[in-house]
């Protein structure tokens, strides 16, 4: 009897195959135990399977027969262990089929010292791609599984993980041939070696890729103050709220933020790609995610769709925006409970969703960019606004103080003058601003080496105390601002984080008075739009 992946005990006709189930955005290894015993023909699956897994018996039975292998006319019991959480999806088809064929001798013993299997079977024996293969490959590496059998459509995705050998099969017959150490017969009748792939070398930062190459920072006319705020947000990973009349450029600015963000690091690329793989959004032919995510949900979105949910829980828009941008246009139009659900992920960088059968943890290190009109009617200016001060106050008052406290930059955009709108002057392109952002991020990386934080926005209170030392004149300005703005402890720390980022953009180690003064401009002073 072999040790590890797929085992067969001759007397009891028992086989075991390793597979994996998705739990949140990670994969947990599952033992697929198959017992074939004398008795009336039956096929039962235990171990908390969902309906898709229970239905696999029909797919497996038909696929085995159509692939040219005998299906045992005995009592078949499949156990998915451990049974502490629900098994979902069709990815258990292939391991169940291989377990049955191992128990009946079609897969010879001693061929699989350490192997895991995932894949969905079609009725003709073809193997279909499944979701979350990247997470499965990472789980195999953690548990010391040396080889992973995946559908051919998932080969490129799984091969991105080093430390394991990925075996890709297009059909059940190909998978059987590999496990038996036999050549795979091709359609032209010539036997060829089985296709195996290993991870390509990957280190450092990934190249920047944009979904829309026509988008550039230079497209935005005027709004120099807002552009500066957006550059600060990009440099330090800060959240920002833009308030201004329709047509002022709020959405246009937000959609150009990815063009000045630094590229994903190798570690961040794996994080983001794993999430998108679990969600079924990763482009199998393109491999890893090359650009930072940009998600822009509509204001009618539900809380579950934003933060994640379901049974078992699945990632929502916040998790899909991990290490990227979550843009929420018409911010006050979102339901209040949806807005308040942002508070924990903005503070902790992660989400915890508890359900009856377990708890799922989702990464949620996002950069929130929100945009709002100053009033519900969207009037062009304060002088021409038809709303009363009370109506304006109630509209923006839908954004609670605790939520505002978690948004570092509050920026007002005036209506764009006609002269600037028609100006042919060429504004600064994204490449120049990105260079400054990348340089500021490099300073943060060097300073925060060894800490849990990667950007200034992620710094803990202890890191703020350590790295945000102020010059004496800057200290005096800050003390005055605390009283004037009635800053909370959280607001105080976030103001210092913004000041630290501004100093990084200037390339200096000490936070000066001008850095604190500029940071104060973004901390939500009493504005006329707020109903005064």
Residue 463 lies in a domain: yes
Mark whether 303 and 327 lie in a shared domain.
yes
| DSSP character at residue 92 | T
Q: What is the CA radius of gyration of the chain?
A: 28
CA distances from 8 to 32, 34, 36, 80, 150 (A): 12, 9, 11, 16, 21
Q: What is the DSSP letter of 329?
A: S
CATH number reported for the structural domain that contains residue 492 in this entry: 1.10.8.60
In a domain, 435, yes or no: no
The answer to whether residues 117 and 220 belong to one domain is no
User: In this structure, what token pair is assigned to residue 491?
Assistant: 């607001």
Cα–Cα distance between 300 and 303 in angstroms, integer?
A: 10
**Four-CA torsion 407, 410, 415, 420, nearest 10 degrees:** -100
CB of 311 closer than 8 Å to CB of 357: yes
Q: Are residues 213 and 179 in the same domain?
A: no
Q: Please report whether residue 68 resides in a domain.
A: yes
- Domain membership of residue 29 (yes or no) is yes
Do 235 and 297 have their domain in common? yes
Show pLDDT as tens, one digit a residue, over the chain (532 residues).
333 445 444 445 588 889 999 988 999 999 999 999 988 999 999 999 998 899 999 999 999 999 999 999 999 999 999 988 889 889 999 999 999 998 888 887 645 447 899 999 999 999 999 999 999 999 999 999 989 999 999 998 898 898 899 999 999 999 999 888 887 655 444 444 445 555 554 444 444 444 455 788 888 888 889 999 999 999 999 999 999 999 888 999 999 999 999 999 989 999 999 999 999 888 766 678 888 999 999 999 999 999 998 777 889 999 999 999 999 999 999 999 999 999 999 999 999 888 766 778 899 999 999 999 989 888 887 777 888 888 888 998 999 999 999 999 999 998 877 666 666 666 789 999 999 999 999 999 999 998 888 999 999 999 999 999 998 999 999 999 888 888 889 989 999 999 999 999 999 999 999 999 999 999 864 444 444 4
Say whether both 257 and 182 belong to one domain.
no
Chain CA centroid to CA 84, Å? 26
Q: Would you say residue 473 lies in a domain?
A: yes
How high is the pLDDT of residue 353? 86
Q: Given this model, what pLDDT does residue 14 score?
A: 80
Work out whether the CA dihedral 261, 161, 271, 267 comes out positive or negative.
Answer: negative
Same structural domain, 382 and 484: no
Q: Which tokens is 219 given? A: 């497209």
Which domain CATH number covers 163? 3.30.230.10
> Quick check: is 430 in a domain?
no
Same-domain status, 190 and 298: no
pLDDT attached to residue 206: 42
Domain boundary among 162, 197, 232: 197
364/285 same-domain check: yes
Integer angstrom CA distances of residue 191 from 69, 185, 197, 309, 525: 19, 4, 19, 47, 74
Same domain, 163 and 279: no
Helix 133-143 to helix 266-278 angle, to the nearest 10 degrees?
120
What are the structure tokens assigned to 5, written together?
A: 């992946």
Alpha-carbon distance of 484 to 282, in angstroms, equals 48
Helix axes 56-66, 93-103, angle to 10 degrees: 60
The number of domains in the chain is 3
Residue ending a domain, among 365, 387, 416, is: 416
Would you tell me how many other CB atoms lie within 10 Å of the CB of residue 56?
25
- Counted residue by residue, the chain has a size of 532
Residue among 411, 330, 437 nearest 375 (CA): 330
271 touches 323 (CB < 8 A)? yes
Assign 108 to helix, strand or coil: coil
Of 416, 441, 475, the residue that ends a domain is: 416
Is residue 387 located within the same domain as residue 287? yes
Nearest to 333 by CA among 367, 371, 304: 371
Residue reference for tokens 């198959």: 34
Which residues lie across from 411 on neighbouring strands? Answer: 242
Kindly provide the residue ranges of all beta strands, DSSP E only, lying in 246-366, ordered along the sequence: 294-295, 325-328, 350-355, 358-363
Q: Which two tokens stand for residue 74?
A: 């005995």
Sheet of 325-328: strand order equals 294-295, 325-328, 367-372, 240-243, 409-412
Structure tokens at 508: 């200096």
Show the domain range for 281: 207-416
d(CA 101, CA 120): 16
Q: Element (H or E) spanning 17, and its range? A: strand 14-23
Helix axes 489-506, 513-521, angle to 10 degrees: 120
Beta strand 26-37 pairing with 75-81: antiparallel
Q: Are residues 321 and 285 in the same domain?
A: yes
What SS3 class is residue 77? strand
Q: What is the CATH number of the domain that holds 285?
A: 3.40.50.300
DSSP for residue 84: S
d(CA 160, CA 272): 13
Whether 451 is covered by a domain: the verdict is: no
Which pLDDT score is estimated for 90? 92
Residue labelled with tokens 């496990």? 179
Q: Six-digit token pair at 397?
A: 């008052």
Closest CA relative to residue 152, chosen from 139, 176, 171, 132: 171
Which pLDDT does position 390 carry in this prediction?
87
Rounded Cα–Cα distance for residues 222 and 419 (Å): 10
Looking at the structure, tell me whether residues 173 and 214 fall in a common domain: no
Would 427 be classed as within a structural domain? no
From CA 204, how far away is CA 383, in angstroms rounded? 52
As a three-state string, the secondary structure of 341-392 is: CCHHHHHHCEEEEEECCEEEEEECCCEEEEEECCCCCCCCCCCCCCCCHHHH
For residues 67 and 107, the answer to whether their CB atoms sit within 8 Å is no
**Cα–Cα nearest to 121, from 53, 182, 185, 220:** 53
């Amino acid at each position: 009897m072999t040790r590890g992946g797929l085992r067969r005990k001759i007397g009891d006709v028992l086989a075991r195959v390793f597979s994996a189930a998705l739990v949140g955005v990670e994969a947990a290894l599952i033992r697929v135990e198959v017992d074939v015993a004398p008795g009336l023909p039956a096929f039962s699956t235990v171990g908390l399977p969902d309906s898709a897994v229970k239905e696999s018996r029909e797919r497996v039975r038909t696929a085995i027969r159509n692939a040219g292998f005998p299906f045992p006319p005995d009592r078949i019991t499949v156990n998915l262990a451990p049974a502490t959480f629900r098994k979902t999806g069709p990815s258990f088809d292939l391991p169940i089929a291989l377990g049955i064929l191992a128990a009946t001798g079609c897969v010879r013993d001693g061929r699989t010292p350490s192997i895991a299997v995932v894949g969905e079977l079609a009725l003709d024996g073809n193997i279909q791609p499944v979701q979350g293969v990247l997470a499965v490959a990472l789980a195999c590496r953690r548990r010391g599984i040396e080889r992973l059998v995946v559908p051919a459509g998932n080969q490129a995705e799984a091969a991105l993980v080093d430390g394991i050998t990925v075996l890709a099969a297009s059909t059940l017959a190909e998978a059987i041939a590999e496990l038996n150490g036999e050549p795979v017969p091709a359609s032209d009748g010539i036997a060829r070696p089985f296709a195996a792939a290993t991870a390509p070398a990957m280190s450092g930062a990934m190249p920047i890729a944009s979904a829309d190459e026509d988008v550039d920072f230079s497209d935005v006319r005027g709004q120099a103050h807002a552009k500066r705020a957006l550059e600060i947000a990009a440099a330090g990973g800060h959240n920002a709220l833009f308030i201004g009349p329709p047509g002022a450029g709020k959405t246009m600015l937000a959609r150009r933020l990815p063009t000045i963000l630094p590229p994903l690091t190798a570690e961040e690329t794996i994080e983001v790609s794993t999430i998108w793989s679990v969600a079924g959004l990763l482009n199998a032919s393109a491999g890893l995610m090359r650009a930072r995510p940009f998600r822009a949900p509509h204001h009618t979105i539900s809380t579950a769709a934003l933060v994640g949910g379901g049974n078992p829980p699945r990632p929502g828009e916040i998790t899909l925006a991990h290490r990227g941008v979550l843009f929420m246009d018409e911010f006050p139009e979102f339901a209040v409970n949806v807005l308040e659900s942002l508070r924990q992920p903005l503070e902790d960088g992660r989400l915890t969703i508890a359900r009856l059968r377990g708890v799922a943890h989702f990464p949620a290190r996002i950069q929130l960019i929100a945009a709002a009109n100053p009033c519900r009617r969207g009037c062009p200016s304060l002088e021409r606004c038809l709303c009363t001060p009370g109506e304006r106050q109630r509209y923006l008052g839908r954004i609670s103080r605790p939520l505002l406290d978690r948004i570092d930059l509050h920026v007002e955009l005036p209506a764009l003058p006609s002269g600037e709108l028609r100006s042919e002057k060429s504004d600064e392109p994204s490449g120049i601003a990105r260079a400054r952002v990348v340089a500021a991020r490099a300073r943060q990386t060097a300073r925060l080496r060894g800490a849990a934080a990667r950007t200034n926005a992620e710094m803990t209170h202890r890191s703020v105390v350590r790295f945000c030392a102020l010059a004496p004149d800057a200290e005096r300005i800050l003390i005055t601002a605390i009283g004037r703005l009635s800053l909370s402890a959280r607001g105080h720390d976030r103001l210092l984080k913004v000041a630290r980022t501004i100093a990084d953009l200037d390339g200096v180690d000490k936070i000066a008075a001008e850095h604190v003064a500029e940071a104060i401009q973004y901390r939500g002073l009493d504005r006329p739009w707020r109903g005064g």
